[in-house]
Amino acid sequence: MRLLVVGIVLSALNLRPAITSLGALLEEVRNGLGMSGSVAGLLTSVPPLCFAVFGVMAPRLARRFGAGAVVCAGMAAIATGLLLRPYTGSTAGFLAGSALALMGIAVSNVLMPVIVKHWFPDRVGSMTGLYSMALALGTALAAAVTVPLTDALGGNWQSGLTVWAALAVAAVLPWLPFVRGRATAPGAVDAGSAPGGAGAATGGGSAPDGAASVRDGLGPGREADRGDGGDAQAAAAAEPAREAAPPLRITRSRTAWALAVFFGLQATAAYITMGWMAQIFRDAGVPAGTAGLLLAVTMVMGVPLAFVIPRLATRLPHQGPIALALGVCGLAGYAGLYLAPAAGAWAWAVLLGIANCAFPLALTMVGMRARTGPGVAQLSAFAQSTGYLISIPGPLLVGVLYQHSGGWGLPIALMSALMIPQMVVGVLAGRDRTVEDEASRRAAAAGR
């Protein structure tokens, strides 16, 4: 069990450095590869595009190979992409290397809530907070130290980006025992026998493309909880398959759609922030190193809050008020960026960091809006893939507006405008209901 927690934390640390390290050195990368502002906007749109395209594949891959094997492969893909992309010598090659790393991030993004739901059904809030906190820490660390590391390595931006591959290599190691002991029955379903939560992750329907019948490949929770040194291969033994229930029609759930749109709009804000905020400060006269630290402050706000917010959310019957409070902080931060970007830079960085904690809130609601492990798998894949599709135009549009307007007024106005619908759908997604219950009510209504 301890090895699994280490694997989750190390994986979470790797889910954003590929993005924020690039944001800190975006100007150097643009100059080195001859990118225009519009092409740089395209580059900042690659993360949500890859998350949408590859994230939807995660449940099927986990069903066939086991979630442990898929996450292990994801970490290997991150390491390979980060090693290759700085040295391709072209914009297309840089994009391809980035896409490989982001593919690994995408499948891990989707499978983390599934692993938590199966293994820690009675601690969804605290475990979601733990890996969200680790994710925020990795994000902030990359933003803060990429520029100093680059300077220490001779000012070469390629070296400054490549160094983050070492963290991904370290994250591969804890998952290797789970790869060797993965489930052999592709049709096996999440049995929901995690410790302290018998039945909490059980049941639910099979989903199209195998999403609902995802098998985490880590085996029954009882085996892994036999003391601190439970054997990983024994912990990863397969359970017998159970008879599948009727398919869960996730696209007919209003809650699923509200959560997907909320996820998409918060991702839009997050990737605009990670891709462009350092440049906003640099254009306002803030030194490059300080701009990187400001981005790090924004990201590091997620370390404590990513632990607090999920725990608070699981104690409330309605998570809408949290979504509203985060949105108000975002609006205040954008107003500050527009009116006095340099003078109040640290305050705006803190406010936008608080607003970015809509991400752990969204992840927590994924675990709360479904009653079963298969339901969480299907909802996670749908909400994240659909959400990332929604978020693709945002960073690209910011780059286009920045290049053609010659300033940050219009891009900041766009960011502010998108925060309003984010708050609205956050309230809708936070209502106390589950996608399985909505499906049952619709099925009952159709049978009348």
pLDDT of residue 378: 84
**Closest among 403, 289, 305, 406 to 352, alpha carbons compared:** 305
> Can you spell out the DSSP letters for 257-294?
HHHHHHHHHHHHHHHHHHHHHHHHHHHTT--HHHHHHH
pLDDT of the residue at 190: 40
pTM of the model: 0.68
Q: Which residue has the higher pLDDT, 196 or 306?
A: 306
**Residues 367-380: pLDDT tens digits?**
899 888 778 878 88
Three-state secondary-structure class, residue 231: coil
**HSE-up of residue 121 (Cα within 13 Å, Cβ side):** 24
* pLDDT higher than threshold 50 for residue 216: no
Alpha-carbon gap, residue 50 to 66, rounded angstroms: 21
- Condensed to tens digits (0 to 9), the pLDDT of residues 422-439 reads 999 999 999 998 888 887
Please tell me the predicted confidence (pLDDT) of residue 399. Answer: 83
pLDDT band at 186 (very low <50, low <70, confident <90, very high): very low
Question: What percent helix, strand, coil does the chain show, rounded to 5?
Answer: 75, 0, 25
> Sign of the C-alpha dihedral, residues 112, 118, 121, 123?
negative
Determine contact, residues 54/107, Cβ cutoff 8 Å: yes
Whether 15 and 108 have beta carbons less than 8 Å apart is answered as yes
User: What is the reported pLDDT for 236?
Assistant: 40
pLDDT digits (tens, 9 = 90+) for 219-236: 333 333 333 434 343 344
What integer pLDDT is reported at residue 180 of this predicted model?
62
Per-residue tokens: 232: 């990983």
DSSP 8-class letter at 205: B
pLDDT the model gives residue 61:
87
Q: Look at residues 219, 197, 206 and name the one whose alpha carbon lies nearest to residue 67.
A: 219
The β-bridge partners of 245 are 205
Provide the pLDDT confidence category of residue 79 given band limits of 50, 70 and 90.
Answer: very high
